[in-house]
Amino acid sequence: MSVPVPNSVEQVLLDEETIQQRVQAVADQVSADYRDKEQIVLVGVLKGSFIFLADLARRLTVPHHVDFVAVSSYGAQGAASGAVRLIMDTRAPITGQHVIVVEDIMDTGYTLDYLLRSFTARQPASLKSCVLLSKPERRQVEVEVDYLGFEIPNVWVVGYGLDFADRFRTLPYIAALKPEVYQK
């Protein structure tokens, strides 16, 4: 059964099959890289990562826990200021754990940069990042991504966890919104 494309959508950029194939490939790589580890911890960044993390985790063949953080951008310019703070921490400490931070999208890079820096200070056994989508044109700070799904152009994308005003997160594909929707 295919999900109808909402009127606000301009174009589907990544269809369901393309996403699922790539998630499988990323999961295979993670499983291979951590095959000798007793356990890894996937830390999803709410809210956008919840669908990617769920699909990725279920395809892993290595033992894993899942945990979550939530972050918020603050300051007059919002995310553009680069000021990020943690508003919900992981349930369990990550010290001594093999941690992978899982993000739906990297835009300026400020969020992932902040998380990797603050997690490093907690002395995990290892720390890597896994990002489904990257918009290289928007980058303000260089952040190393260990596992990347796709690079995309600088357009507003929704679906597969990504939203516009909290809508469209559960679309099974990733689509560009019509500019008139977000430029209002």
Residue ranges of alpha helices (H) inside the chain are 16-33, 50-59, 110-120, 179-182
Phi, psi values for residue 109, rounded to 5°: 100, -10
Of the pair 39, 170, the CB lying nearest ligand PRP is at 170
Nearer CB in complex with ligand PRP: 34/51: 51
The yes or no reply on residue 122 touching ligand PRP (CB under 6 A) is: no
109 near ligand PRP, judged by CB under 6 A: yes
Of the candidates 181, 121, 172, the residue with the CA atom closest to the CA atom of residue 16: 172
Residue 71 in contact with residue 111, Cβ under 8 Å?
Answer: yes
Closest approach, Cβ 74 to ligand PRP, in A, equals 12
Letters for 134-163 (x = contact with ligand PRP by CB under 6 A, - = none) are -----------------------------x
Q: Near ligand PRP by CB under 6 A, which window of 33-41, 109-117, 118-126, 175-183?
A: 109-117
- From the list 102, 42, 50, the residue with the least C-alpha distance to 67 is 42
Secondary structure class of 164 (helix, strand, coil): strand
With a CB cutoff of 8 Å and minimum separation 6, the contacts of 137 are: 153, 154
Q: Are 162 and 169 in contact (CB under 8 A)?
A: yes
The one among 22, 47, 122, 178 contacting ligand PRP by CB under 6 A? 47
Q: Cβ of residue 141: shortest distance to ligand PRP, in angstroms?
A: 8
107, 113, 146, 163: the active-site residue: 107
Q: At what angle do helices 16-33 and 50-59 cross, to 10 degrees?
A: 60
107 catalytically annotated = yes
Stretch that binds ligand PRP, among 6-14, 35-43, 44-52, 58-66 (CB under 6 A): 44-52
106 binding ligand PRP? (CB under 6 A): yes
Q: Is 108 in the site for ligand PRP (CB under 6 A)?
A: yes
Interatomic CA distance for residues 147 and 54, integer angstroms: 16
Catalytic residues: 107
Interacting residue ranges for ligand PRP, rule: CB under 6 A = 45-48, 79, 103-111, 163
